[in-house]
Structure formats: C-alpha cells, structure tokens
Amino acid sequence: MGDENEDLARLGRYEAFRCDVVAELASTEGQLRDLKATGKTKTATYQQLFANRLILRGILERLADHGI
C-alpha cells in the first residue's frame, strides 16, 4: 500500500472518474430521449447509445458496490 497522500490522490481520481461517468450517462440518456421522440429507435446510433447506457450504469453500480 502507498502512503496516505497517494491513497487520497487515488481516491480523488476515482471520484473524478465517477463524475465523468455520471455526466456521460446523463448526456447519453438525453440523446436517447431525443432519438426516441423522433421515432429513431431502430437506428444504429440509438442502439449504440443504448448499449453505452447499459455499460455506464454497470460501471456506476460497481463503483457504488465499492463505496465510490
């Protein structure tokens, strides 16, 4: 294990990562809503965004499981 400063720096990086994931998830969900509102749920873009949303939610769940 590293010293306390290294541990705090590592935790800060995880927290920054979590914030980035939350922001990306919000953006992705907004894009999905827009595409759905225009009836474009069968497009490749929608499918890719849908898959990304699942991945981002999974990342957040794993971070939450570890208290981050």
If one counts the domains in the chain, the total is: 1
Assess if residue 45 is contained within a domain. Answer: yes
Confidence of residue 62 (pLDDT cuts 50, 70, 90): very high
Assess if residue 14 is contained within a domain. Answer: no
pTM of the model: 0.88
Helix (H) or strand (E) holding 21: helix 4-37
Choose among 36, 62, 64: nearest CA to 49.
36
Q: What is the pLDDT of residues 1-55, one digit of tens each?
A: 569 999 999 999 999 999 999 999 999 999 999 999 999 999 999 999 999 999 9
Domain that holds residue 27: 20-65
Separation CA 25–CA 58 (nearest Å): 11
Token duo for residue 34: 């827009």
Q: Residue 40: phi, psi to the nearest 5?
A: -105, 40
Assess if residue 7 is contained within a domain. Answer: no
Assess if residue 13 is contained within a domain. Answer: no
Assess if residue 32 is contained within a domain. Answer: yes
Assess if residue 9 is contained within a domain. Answer: no
Assess if residue 15 is contained within a domain. Answer: no
